[in-house]
Structure 1
Amino acid sequence: MDLIADILLVTGALGAGFYCFVLARRLTRFTDLENGVGGAVAVLSAQVDDLSRTLSAAREAAGTSESSLEELTGRAEDVARRLELLVASMHDLPGPAAPVDPAPRKTEDPPMGPVFSRRARAGTAG
């Protein structure tokens, strides 16, 4: 009986050893940096680094855009206030003006005395 128990014990130990050997080989292939999950983890780690850099660049660009948009919005609000004031002041003006004559009329000079009119025509002063 002891002999049968020893044979079964040795057989079980050899089976467990073989099972461990197979698991070790699978684990080696599983963690291989070229083809296995280890490679996938390495690739994903590199992608996370790239995405982190891209995200920080996008945050910087968004901050810059935010400040310029705030400045432009402030300027637009100022212009809108000025336009509102101009439109409000337009209500205070009288109705439409009379149409302007395209050909201005020549007005005659007021009559001058004989001395002043001769000097003005001759182009001499005084």
Structure 2
Amino acid sequence: MQAYATTLLRLSLGVMTLSHALLKIFVFTVPGTVGYFESLGFPGFLAYLTIAAELGGGLALILGVYTRWVSLALVPVLLGALSVHAGNGWVFSNNGGGWEFPAFWTLVLLVQAGLGGGAAVLSKRFA
């Protein structure tokens, strides 16, 4: 059962990460995301890196490719999100979004890195 629970966690993280990339591409648009990053004081190119990390990382997690490494590679993206939301309070429904969701997501990525890919990975060699 542990392998299937690990797989469910991996797939959930993958879908959530991919959906955030697609949100930035299709809803906020890439130029809009770049502008938002710049309005926060981040260099605009970080928006492109974030979108690429979420898109590639989400797909890799869904497929079960390099799960441990991908999970760890996504942690800095979530720490960036955490830094943006840190001053908004605990609850993510607060104005500007609170910090508990990115904090939880960061911790879950670390758990996934510890657990590995679980079952139903593209290749056990790359899990």
Q: Same fold (TM over 0.5)?
A: no
Task: State the TM-score, normalizing by the size of structure 2.
Answer: 0.23
Larger Rg: 1
Q: RCO greater where, 1 or 2, for CA within 8 Å and sep 6 or more?
A: 2
